[in-house]
A and B are shown apart, each in its own frame.
Chain A
Amino acid sequence: MSLPAEIWHLLLKDLRLEWRQRTALAGLLLYVGGTVYVSYLSFTARGGLPPAPAWNALFWIILLFAALGAAGRGLAQEPAGLRLYYYTVARPEAVILAKIFYNALLLLALAGPGLLLYTLLLGNPVQNMPLFAANVALGAVSLASSLTLVAGIAARAGQAGGGTLLAVLGLPVLVPVLLIVIKISKNALDGLPWDVSQGPVLTLVALNFIVGAVSYVLFPFLWRS
């Protein structure tokens, strides 16, 4: 089988499994919804909506922790026997790329409803909504691509660190992504013209390609252990 075909089959397999075990997806959605609702309650306790910078920061922090939660499930949940089986039927490059795509789709599925609920409850100070929505999509994909390999490493490192290890290893790698993404969404909030955001968007896309390429090269080594 060619590489794209293998990726396609692995991705379909993951999506089917996710659909059969809807509780996991529902749990993540509930997490996002719950956090948004708690933020809404905390802000309205004082009366009124959060100022735009706080609105922006809070949204990305919610999405960041949703990403950490989602990534922790992907590679971590598979038992060793299943890994051995994949090893016989697919090449490692296909496995990591399929996981990156799958994580990206999962995070998009979380970010979309999350953004909707967030704007419903906490108001919508965004002046350039198409750019903001596109940035959320790009940000979700970037978070997923940066976290997939790290989640694999954390899963192999065993139970000692547990969930915290993923956060410890993932956060430094995610800071560049978050810095760029928050800058673009600030531009969208302020309604700045597109050419201001063009540079950061291109940087983010380039960063995605670097991270994807490095994951592609390194995953076979992780896989062997």
Chain B
Amino acid sequence: MKWWKYLTIVLLLYTVVMGFLGHVPRLAILNETERNLYFHVPMWFGMTIILLASVINSIRYLRNPSARLDTLAHESAKTGILLGVLGLLTGSLWARYTWGTWWTTDVKLNGAAVTMLIYAAYLVLRGSVSDEQQRARLSAIYNIFAFSAAIPLLFIMPRLAEASLHPGMGGNPGFSKYDLDSGMRLVFYPAVIGWTLLGVWITEVACRFAFVKEKIYEKQEKQLA
């Protein structure tokens, strides 16, 4: 196992232990739900980073097509969806206890929903093309196109919006960097790195699995021929 995998385990253990047992400031309404900062917010950070990796691999694919880059883009997108779904679930749970509802029509929530829809559509597109090269090229084009259409939604629109229930108005769309308790930072930043590394790890395993499957198919085809 590589060193960063040990780091992932240590960071996530630290996040979970300190996240549930560590000290958090006493705040009205938020109460203990603010511990979600260690789970929900880093998951979105991780998702953004992994989806960015997916788009970069798609761009690399268009510049220099290879099956490897296509697999990297595909598996990164799938991990991104996983982290996004986890982010939605943790966020929804948090909203239930602080806002009293599972879902509202907030700018940031809309952005999150659209991102999930885009990558679900990406998977549908991949599923509906049978030719491998065609599938790789089309999905790379769609990935880049949809990502560029979603960026304004995730990063620019929340900053322009006049009103949003979601924490972190007038700055980072996820949380407010000015009122973050410095004790919480000690857990939050390791959590961001930990969840992102977990995403990278999942992607790596999924990619290796895909490569092995491809090799087995090739062998079977040779035997048949």
Interface residues of A (CB under 8 A from B): 146, 149-150, 153, 156-158, 160-161, 165, 168-169, 171-173, 175-176, 179, 199, 203, 206-207, 210-211, 214-215, 218, 221-222, 224-225
Contacts and interface: CB of A to CB of B under 8 A. Distances in A.
The 8 closest A-B pairs by CB, nearest first: A172-B117, A172-B118, A160-B128, A161-B128, A214-B148, A176-B153, A175-B114, A173-B149
Contacts of B110: 175, 179
A41 B129 CA distance: 41
Nearest to A161: B128
Given A172-B117, A175-B110, A153 B149 contact: no
A176 B160 contact: no
B144 interface: yes
Contact of B148 (A168, A203, A206, A211): A211
B94 to A, nearest CB: 23
A169 B137 contact: no
A171 B117 CA distance: 8
- Where chain B touches its partner, the secondary structure class is helix
Contacts of B118: 172-173
B141 A157 contact: no
Contacts of A149: 141, 145
Contacts of B152: 176, 203, 206-207, 210
A169 B148 contact: no
B134 interface: yes
A38 B219 CA distance: 59
A218 B143 CA distance: 11
Q: Which of B117, B120, B128, B130 has the most CB of A within 10 A?
A: B128
B121 interface: yes
A214 B145 contact: yes
Contacts of B149: 146, 173, 176, 207, 210-211, 214
5 contacts: A157-B125, A157-B128, A157-B138, A169-B125, A199-B160
A139 B21 CA distance: 51
Given A153-B138, A157-B129, A158-B129, A176 B145 contact: no
Contact of A172 (B114, B128, B140, B157): B114
B74 to A, nearest CB: 15
A225 B153 contact: no
Interface in B148-170: 148-150, 152-153, 156-157, 160
Given A172-B114, A199-B160, A160 B144 contact: no
Nearest to A171: B117
Contacts of A199: 160
Contacts of A153: 125, 138, 141-142, 145
Nearest to B140: A221
Nearest to B111: A176
A176 B107 CA distance: 10
Given A153-B141, A179-B110, A207-B152, A172 B129 contact: no
B124 interface: yes
Interface string B105-133: 00000100010011011001100111001
Nearest to B62: A221
Contact of A218 (B117, B120, B133, B141): B141
Given A156-B134, A210-B149, A214-B145, 7 more contacts: A156-B138, A171-B121, A210-B152, A215-B145, A221-B62, A221-B137, A222-B137
B68 to A, nearest CB: 18
B114 A176 contact: yes
B146 interface: yes
Contacts of A165: 124-125, 128
Interface in B161-213: none
A206 B156 CA distance: 11
Contacts of A172: 114, 117-118, 120-121, 146, 150
A27 to B, nearest CB: 26
A210 B144 CA distance: 12
Nearest to A219: B141
Nearest to A156: B138
